Amino acid sequence: MIPYKYKTIRYQDYLLAKEEEINSRYQWVKSIIVFLFPYPEKNHQVSGYLPAKFAYGEDYHQVVKEKLEEVAKDLKLNRYEVLVDQSFLDEKAVAVLAGLGEIGRNNLLLTAEYGSRVFIGEIVTDKKLEASMVKKEQTFSNICLHCNLCVEHCPTKTLDYGFEKDKCLSFLSQKVSKEYPLYDKMKCYYGCDVCQDVCPANQKNYEYLEEFDYLEDSSLSLVDIVDLTNEEFARKYDNKAFNWIPVKRMIRNLLVLEANNHKLSIKDIELYQKKFYNIDWLIDHLTYLKGRIQHGNH
């Protein structure tokens, strides 16, 4: 018998407790200023492997934080906090409520000016500012064409029923998971671009910060990271959005990409199995890849 214990709470109670917790920490907040920072759409052909385009340039967390600190100083705000990604806010929802766009079928904020290739950041402040939008009806509702191209092209069928996070290649590239056949569809070593690449609301011309332009060291090969510790990896890529990922997950991603590109032999896999003999989850994934290659199922 599997040993387990359980207790139940009402969903409403959870929502109230969550709200109370946020209220107690952010009781001082009167306004949220929501910012969009577009990043480029351009493709790059390189010899190594690439992340999704949102990670081509400098780490957006650092860049957006730095820019918003400058804005907050210009605005002479008294009490404020700059947030990006690691935010207590649902950033897509606050952007919609501020009138910046709508949530498209691909689960992302779509904007009329930039499409979906935007980073969202906020300044929360104790200053009472006039809201840009007062009525919910003023939100956008026609940027997403509901053409379903994102749904049809998603390699792992993540969007068939709303958004199934656990199937999303962006999620899988960051986590350890046993969904090995889904990894067979992977093209980027961090994140995924498919649902945005096929979106007709994208492919727009706009200005963006040069910090988000492609940097050469975003092209990775196994030799670049295979012998690094987590600390060495984080230091080497300290200006990259993916620098927080444990290095063995990045090595897994590169091994998967090698296999997906028919560049991994059984002999290579056996060498990696020896090298990483004490990391069970990685050995399991390598065993799967070995089976795949043995059965000629590339």
**Minimum CB–partner distance for residue 191 and ligand B12 (Å):** 3
Q: How many CB atoms lie within 10 A of CB 259?
A: 24
Q: Which of residues 3-42 bind ligand B12 (CB under 6 A)?
A: none
Q: Which of 59, 74, 85, 238 is catalytic?
A: 85
| Residue with smaller CB distance to ligand B12, 97 or 226 | 97
CA atoms of 65 and 78, how far apart (whole Å): 17
Check binding of 215 to ligand B12 (CB under 6 A).
Answer: no
Which of 125, 156, 174, 243 is close enough to bind ligand B12 by CB under 6 A?
A: 174
Q: Which residues, at least 6 apart from 176, have a Cβ–Cβ distance to it below 8 Å?
A: 249, 252, 281
33, 68, 100, 118: residue in contact with ligand B12 (rule CB under 6 A) = 118
- Give 168 or 289: the residue with its C-beta nearer to ligand B12: 168
Total interface residues for ligand B12 by CB under 6 A: 30
CB of 152 to ligand B12, least distance (A): 14
Helix 280-294 to helix 266-275 angle (10° resolution) is 170
Q: Is 213 a catalytic residue?
A: no
List, in order, residues 6 or more apart from 276 with CB less than 8 Å away: 248, 251, 282, 283, 286
Residue 218 is classified by DSSP as G
d(C-alpha 264, C-alpha 293), whole Å: 8
CB burial class (10 A; 0-12, 13-18, 19+) of residue 181?
Answer: exposed
Residues in contact with ligand B12, shown as a per-residue x/- string from 75 to 114 under the rule CB under 6 A: ---------xx-x--xxxx--xx-----x--xxxx-----
* Residue whose CB is less far from ligand B12, 106 or 286: 106
Phi and psi at 88, nearest 5°, equal: -75, -10
Site for ligand B12 in 236-255 (CB under 6 A): none
Q: Between residues 107 and 273, which has the closer beta carbon with respect to ligand B12?
A: 107
**Residue pair 173/192 in contact by the 8 Å Cβ criterion:** yes
CB of 175 to ligand B12, least distance (A): 8
Q: Specify the pairing of strand 109-110 against strand 31-38.
A: unpaired
Q: In what order do the strands lie in the sheet with 118-125?
A: 31-38, 118-125, 80-84
Q: Which is nearer to ligand B12, 75 or 97 (CB)?
A: 97
In the complex, the smallest distance separating the C-beta of residue 54 from ligand B12, rounded to whole angstroms, is 5
Instruction: Catalogue the active-site residues.
Output: 85
Binding site for ligand B12 (CB under 6 A): 52, 54, 84-85, 87, 90-93, 96-97, 103, 106-109, 116, 118-120, 163, 165, 168, 170-171, 174, 191-193, 195
